[in-house]
Amino acid sequence: MIHIVFNQVEVDLMQQVMALDETLQGPVVQIRDDFAVGPLSGLDTEEGWQTRLDWWRGLSKGAPYPEDQVGSFDDRKTVAALKAQLTAEPGEQIWIWMGQNQHDVTGYYWLIPQLKEFQGRVMVLYLNNLPFINEKGLIFYPSWLWEIRPAEFLKAKRLARPVTLSEFEIDPDEWNKLVQENSLVRLLEGGKKIAGKEVTFYDDEILKNLTGEWQKATRVLSNTLNRMKIKTGDIFIMWRLKELVAAGKIQAEGDIDKDWKSFDVRLAGKKETAAELAADAGS
């Protein structure tokens, strides 16, 4: 079997799971793009794919990642390799692992139309609305696979089922709806229902982590990512923070165009430092 996951941390997680259960042995393949954000139009063409790639590259300026990392992978090639392996090995199966979040589900929607010819050999494990036991022995409902302890996957594997012929017909229609809508933010609203939102959806999450005091932009980023209930990636959040600076809602000090560590931010129109308050009092 070939395991498909949608987050890098889950590649390591699946290795831990396989160490506990040899019946799950097999390569782990990651679909790396985050289709829950960004343009989707024309991804079946080189022009459309390049548009999306350029969008990611624009957002990633100043990010603490190697410059060649963004765009260094091509999920289309990953899928082509999977299909070639399935064709060469008729007994091989794919197991798609999904958590209850928009990142995994949109990745599934992008992937599934490309695997229709292998119906009956494509399994899905969608761990939505399912209770698991955490490290403290308490029941919880995870949104992401990486929240689940490796030992808990031993019972989760029983949920594997083939993607049905009906799903191979209907799920591509859901993907096409997302493409036509082409919102820049997409959220999971229950089950496998994805809804488009405004690009400003996460802005309030950023703003509520700011005050009139200067903070490192990276600190605001970290606090936002840790506190927000509906998760998205750091590159997208930092881009929105910079857009809020451009809109005049956040004030920046330093070089915003250099890297993420090179500037501080605070709410625009606020004065809370001792020097500013003293200056106001003396004027």
CATH of domain 203-282: 1.10.10.10
Q: Can 2-179 and 203-282 be said to share one CATH topology?
A: no
Q: Give the model's pLDDT for residue 173.
A: 94
Q: Give the model's pLDDT for residue 219.
A: 97
- Domain 2-179 grouped into CATH 3.40.50.300: no
Name the token pair of 68.
């060649």
CB atoms within 10 A of CB 107: 25
Q: Give the model's pLDDT for residue 283.
A: 46
Q: Give the model's pLDDT for residue 66.
A: 75
Name the token pair of 180.
């036509």
8 A C-beta contact, residue 83 and residue 115: yes
CA distances from 39 to 49, 101, 139 (A): 9, 19, 37
Q: Give the model's pLDDT for residue 134.
A: 87
Phi/psi class of residue 117: alpha, beta or left (left: φ > 0; alpha: ψ in -120 to 50)?
Answer: alpha
Largest CA distance in the chain: 81
Q: Give the model's pLDDT for residue 277.
A: 44
The amino acid that residue 58 corresponds to is G
pTM above 0.85, yes or no: yes
CA atoms within 13 A of residue 106's CA, in its CB half-sphere: 28
Among 186, 265, 176, CA closest to 222: 265
DSSP conformation class of 137: S
8 A C-beta contact, residue 37 and residue 129: no
CA atoms within 13 A of residue 94's CA, in its CB half-sphere: 26
CB atoms within 10 A of CB 257: 10
Q: What are phi and psi of 95, to 5 degrees?
A: -115, 115
Question: How far is Cα 80 from Cα 126, in angstroms, rounded to an integer?
Answer: 23
b/e per residue 231-242 (b: at least 16 CB within 10 A): ebebbbbbbbbb
The residue ranges of every structural domain in the chain are 2-179, 203-282
8 A C-beta contact, residue 86 and residue 92: yes
Name the token pair of 195.
């809804």
DSSP conformation class of 37: B
Would you write out the chain's pLDDT as a tens digit for each of its 283 residues?
A: 999 999 999 999 999 999 999 999 999 999 999 999 999 999 999 999 999 999 999 999 889 887 656 666 799 999 999 999 999 999 999 999 999 999 999 999 999 999 999 999 999 999 988 899 888 889 999 999 999 999 988 888 888 999 999 999 999 999 999 999 999 999 999 899 999 999 999 999 999 999 999 999 999 999 999 999 999 999 999 999 999 999 999 999 999 999 999 999 999 986 665 454 445 445 4
Among 273, 265, 224, CA closest to 245: 265
Q: Give the model's pLDDT for residue 30.
A: 96
CB atoms within 10 A of CB 175: 20
- The residue length of the chain stands at 283
Q: Give the model's pLDDT for residue 281.
A: 45
